[in-house]
Structure 1
Amino acid sequence: MSVTTTDLPEEDASSDAPGLRSGSLGTADIAFFVVSAAAPLTVMAGVAPLAILLGGIGAPVGYLLAGLTLAVFAVGFTTMSRHVTSGGAFYAFITRGLGRPVGIGAALLALVGYNGMEIGVYGLLATTTRDTVHSLFGSDVPWLPVSLAGLLLIGYGGFRSIDFGAKLLGVLLVAETGILVLLAGGVLLKGGAHGLSPASLAPAHVFVPGTAAVLAFAFAAFTGFESTVIYRREARDPERTIPRATYAAVGFLGLFYAFVVWIAVQAFGDERVVRAAGEDPAGLFFTAITTYVGGWAADLMHVFIVTSVIASLLAFHNAINRYVLSLAEEGVLPRRLGRVHPRHRSPYLAGVAQTVLGALVVLAFRAAGADPYQQLLLWVNTPGMIGLLLLQLLAAIAVPCYFRRVRHAEGAVRTVAAPVLATVLLAAAIALVVSHIDLFTAASPAVNVLLVAVAPAVFVLGLPLAWWLRRSRPDVYATFATGTTK
């Protein structure tokens, strides 16, 4: 049956969010979790060169357009967060707007999506660490020990209190954004390769055949920004903190991504940057910072890319743990997974389960002789990304459906116009990602079809699960994602 505050130990039953440390996180703390999950340095150094290669010097605008789309989504999303206060975030919103069967499918999709976004990144941790060690010391390290060490490190970070994680992510985020700001300063001070140019903003350079691919990359770069609502139970004054953190994260990422990509264009010049990106996409940012700042800064960038990946892993790990905690409290997952550590107030058993799952996936890929980047990262991460985009789409649809059925004082712009526009834009974003899936996976058409099918298949599996819960565990089904409504 579902867990209530009276089912929990006395020390955990004293607040609306049993066990978790309420009032721990401010706007900046939550924004750190969200922006760290996006891994700005990794996205810029690893993906932006491909966006420039495909979209030309107009690539910066693609990130602005993606940010604007998600800002529109955030209008309805944050409005609903003031009314639906369940810890289930996405699946709670979708349940309240579209019904329990759809919501249960969304819950499964959230588990698979967030796990895919995290577990695949252990392959990226291995490759970035290997590249950094080789660059700095000329040595080669095997990838499996790095991934397993990362699992233990992230598991420990999730075990500690949420404010510990927020402080750690704050430090790591300052480091990874700071090195990009340092690059920007060097380019601006020296005037770029041939003087600073606004040509990237010209429509003739923005609306080119490669723009669709740039937009696909750009939407992927924001994945995880919506996880602000997952921390509601630990936020100070969540009715204000959650919307502020959401808008701050979207605004920062959109503007920062666009600015840094424009800086990369200026570093090489409008005429040469596309050729440079094609010749050495992985080294584009390292070459730029070596030229404009110095080799020591390139060494720092190598190190900070590793810490950027670690920050992303920890942010997703904490988000997953809170989804599992919520579903355990709902009674959908075993209640044991809902236990909270008495001192750190972290969902530590959910973290242990997630770490074990990650280790099993990593070991399975290693046993199959898979490449940590080409297979572990791309093949696990891509279904997770699609899953989170589908959750955003379902949440956008759920907002007007929910507000049609309840009494409220919210305006039509927030409850109808913005969510409907977001639905159209997010559907277009998903279409762009799916139509350019080969850019994300570097896999065969057959593998791509399978990877795209994972997310909708998981969602569909939620329908028979909902039917089973309604017949076999009606108490769980009846109280699923009820939370607290104002």
Structure 2
Amino acid sequence: MSVSSKTTPGACPGSAERQPAAARLRTGTLGTADITFFVVSAAAPLTVMAGVAPIAIVLGGIGAPVAYLIAGVTLTVFAVGFTTMSRHVRSGGAFYAYIAQGLGKPLGIGAALLAVVGYNGMEIGVYGLLGSAGADTAHALWGVDVPWLPIALAGLLLVWYGGHRSIDFGAKVLGVLLVAETGILVLLAGGVLLRGGADGLSLASFAPDNVLVPGTAAVLAFAFIAFTGFESTVIYRREARDPGRTVPRATYIAVCFLGVFYAFVVWAVIQAFGDAAVVEAAANDPGGLFFAAITTYVGAWAADLMHLLIVTSVLASLLAFHNAINRYALALAEEGVLPAALGRVHPRHGSPYLAGAAQTVLGLVVVLSFALAGADPYTQLLLWVNTPGGIGLMVLQLLAAIAVPCYFRRVRHGEGAFRTVVAPVVAAVLLTAAIGLVVSEIDAFTGASATVNTVLVALVPGVLLLGLLLAVRLRRGRPEVYARFAEEPTE
């Protein structure tokens, strides 16, 4: 059933009359492949592999590929309860709606604020990576030294434009960029396999003795962060065709693809240098490991192409997160928590264009602030802003997992115990361990002082607490908004 003839989930009473029918999100637009493109693009596979996987190899040795499989299995278990609940809670607010329905409105409002801050942190910090990667690419290919700030600002403009246009336009753009960035990694892996690697192909990466090493905990922490954004499939529910099927399918495809693909590519790069030599090669030049491998096994032209595709990979990630943030802001504006103007939808493109403009302005302010402070775009703008964002989204996953059995205890349903109790409880335990790993290895993510790391980690519970205080204020000062928060529309 199209939402165009109904009050939008979470909307204020009468909002359907105030907003013309044409000014709605484009319902029935996205298929399984489109949603998958959005969430896999957010993870930026090429950037994660070329930029982070070498560090994982240094820390965890040749057993590093298994960490990505473990993270993928954990998040697949989480997806079981998460997607089951998506069939019953139809709000565009996803995380916060599930948490509010299962654990109560105060925690739901806290989760809403944490989601807004977390997703913004994951996107805005990446503008530092865009500037850094763009500058590196210009120097590597043309010998030109370009300041990072103009590149980041150009990215802000491009991402704003992509989010301003229709959602199907964004899906097409991300589809092309995702095929390109995964294609270059497949080309690298194919070259290694065809030539048999440096010392012949080996499965030693999957041997327990090579997996259970002291650095495994740190690698697991990196692996979990590499999946960030996969859960945003449910944010596109209102724009999906047959959301009861397409959203779960896209979620499973995304997380399974990322887990297997990451593990395969890391294993292939290990084969490119050989089990005995890869750790030293990664330690000596982590940023050049993938470029050296593809130059050897495919050709220098492929390394040049990889430089360019890393930049487009980062742009694709930015656009994917931008679209997710806009839809969270739209849902919260409809709830009455954020200003109503952020809930306006473009009459032609069907996009939450004012939310997109506001998010772009916020990104501009943060990027310029770091630039004016003389901060490094990678080690400070990217890592300091991204890290609390990533931890925040993992905390939301944990709360959502806990919310699933609590919700299904209170409602009548025909779902099995595995989906509503067993899988969510197992996921909650595993996610708790994963969050503990990330926090314990925070130094590896930021390279910052103990004081900075403490502040970055404390931001997550601080934002959640601020959200709880906001809930108290809403309950007292705007009881009608509080009562309506995350409630299902009446049929």
Superposition TM-score tier, normalisation by shorter sequence = over 0.9
Partner of 2:463: 458
Is 2:424 the counterpart of 1:414? no
Aligned residue runs from structure 1 range 112-261, under 5 A? 112-261=117-266
Residues 366 and 60 (structure 1), Cα distance of their counterparts in 2 relative to 1, 3 Å cut: same
Counterpart AA for 1:189? L
Query: Counterpart of 1:10 in 2: which secondary structure?
Result: coil
For 2:279 and 2:252, locate their aligned partners in 1 and report how far apart those are by CA, in whole Å. Answer: 32
Partner of 1:266: 271
Is 2:388 the counterpart of 1:383? yes
Counterpart AA for 2:64? A
Is 2:52 the counterpart of 1:42? no
For 1:382 and 1:255, locate their aligned partners in 2 and report how far apart those are by CA, in whole Å. Answer: 24
Aligned residue runs from structure 1 range 296-375, under 5 A? 296-375=301-380
Partner of 1:23: 28
Deviations 1:9-55, CA, capped at 9 Å, x for gaps: 2324xxxxx71000000000000000000000000000000000000
**How far is 1:100 from its partner?**
0.4
For 2:19 and 2:282, locate their aligned partners in 1 and report how far apart those are by CA, in whole Å. Answer: 57
Is 2:289 the counterpart of 1:284? yes
Counterpart AA for 2:19? P
- 1:473 paired residue among 478, 481, 491: 478
1:3–1:335 Cα contact (<8 Å) kept:
no
**How far is 1:464 from its partner?**
1.2
**How far is 1:7 from its partner?**
3.9
Partner of 1:15: none
Partner of 1:2: 12
**How far is 1:2 from its partner?**
2.9
Partner of 2:444: 439
Counterpart AA for 1:186? G
- When normalised by structure 1's length, the TM-score is 0.98
For 1:235 and 1:180, locate their aligned partners in 2 and report how far apart those are by CA, in whole Å. Answer: 29
For 1:483 and 1:357, locate their aligned partners in 2 and report how far apart those are by CA, in whole Å. Answer: 31
For 1:150 and 1:201, locate their aligned partners in 2 and report how far apart those are by CA, in whole Å. Answer: 39
Give the number of equivalent residue pairs. Answer: 481
1:84–1:484 Cα contact (<8 Å) kept:
no
Is 2:104 the counterpart of 1:99? yes
For 2:191 and 2:171, locate their aligned partners in 1 and report how far apart those are by CA, in whole Å. Answer: 30
Partner of 2:6: none
For 2:343 and 2:259, locate their aligned partners in 1 and report how far apart those are by CA, in whole Å. Answer: 35
For 2:121 and 2:231, locate their aligned partners in 1 and report how far apart those are by CA, in whole Å. Answer: 16
Partner of 1:58: 63
1:85–1:485 Cα contact (<8 Å) kept:
no
For 2:361 and 2:172, locate their aligned partners in 1 and report how far apart those are by CA, in whole Å. Answer: 25
For 2:373 and 2:216, locate their aligned partners in 1 and report how far apart those are by CA, in whole Å. Answer: 37
1:82–1:239 Cα contact (<8 Å) kept:
yes
Residues 86 and 77 (structure 1), Cα distance of their counterparts in 2 relative to 1, 3 Å cut: same
For 2:386 and 2:16, locate their aligned partners in 1 and report how far apart those are by CA, in whole Å. Answer: 39
Residues 21 and 57 (structure 1), Cα distance of their counterparts in 2 relative to 1, 3 Å cut: same
Residues 270 and 485 (structure 1), Cα distance of their counterparts in 2 relative to 1, 3 Å cut: farther
Residues 2 and 11 (structure 1), Cα distance of their counterparts in 2 relative to 1, 3 Å cut: closer
Counterpart AA for 1:64? L
Partner of 2:94: 89
Deviations 1:90-126, CA, capped at 9 Å, x for gaps: 0000000000000000000000000000000000000
1:326–1:338 Cα contact (<8 Å) kept:
yes
For 2:289 and 2:366, locate their aligned partners in 1 and report how far apart those are by CA, in whole Å. Answer: 32
**How far is 1:361 from its partner?**
0.3
For 1:2 and 1:375, locate their aligned partners in 2 and report how far apart those are by CA, in whole Å. Answer: 40
Give unmatched runs, 5+ long, in structure 2: 1-10
**How far is 1:463 from its partner?**
1.2
For 1:121 and 1:183, locate their aligned partners in 2 and report how far apart those are by CA, in whole Å. Answer: 25
**How far is 1:210 from its partner?**
0.6
Residues 233 and 161 (structure 1), Cα distance of their counterparts in 2 relative to 1, 3 Å cut: same
Query: Counterpart of 1:47 in 2: which secondary structure?
Result: helix
- 2:114 paired residue among 109, 129, 154: 109
Counterpart AA for 2:107? V
- When normalised by structure 2's length, the TM-score is 0.97
Query: Counterpart of 2:21 in 1: which secondary structure?
Result: helix
Residues 81 and 442 (structure 1), Cα distance of their counterparts in 2 relative to 1, 3 Å cut: same
Deviations 1:394-441, CA, capped at 9 Å, x for gaps: 000000000000000000000000000000000000000000001110
Counterpart AA for 2:422? A
For 1:418 and 1:91, locate their aligned partners in 2 and report how far apart those are by CA, in whole Å. Answer: 20
Counterpart AA for 2:93? G
Partner of 1:11: 21
**How far is 1:163 from its partner?**
0.2
1:83–1:485 Cα contact (<8 Å) kept:
no
For 1:401 and 1:5, locate their aligned partners in 2 and report how far apart those are by CA, in whole Å. Answer: 31
1:2–1:475 Cα contact (<8 Å) kept:
no
Residues 237 and 265 (structure 1), Cα distance of their counterparts in 2 relative to 1, 3 Å cut: same
Counterpart AA for 1:136? L
Partner of 1:74: 79
Identity rate of aligned residues, in percent? 76
Which stretches of structure 1, 4 residues or more, deviate above 4 A after TM superposition? none
Residues 241 and 484 (structure 1), Cα distance of their counterparts in 2 relative to 1, 3 Å cut: farther
**How far is 1:144 from its partner?**
1.1
1:225–1:250 Cα contact (<8 Å) kept:
yes
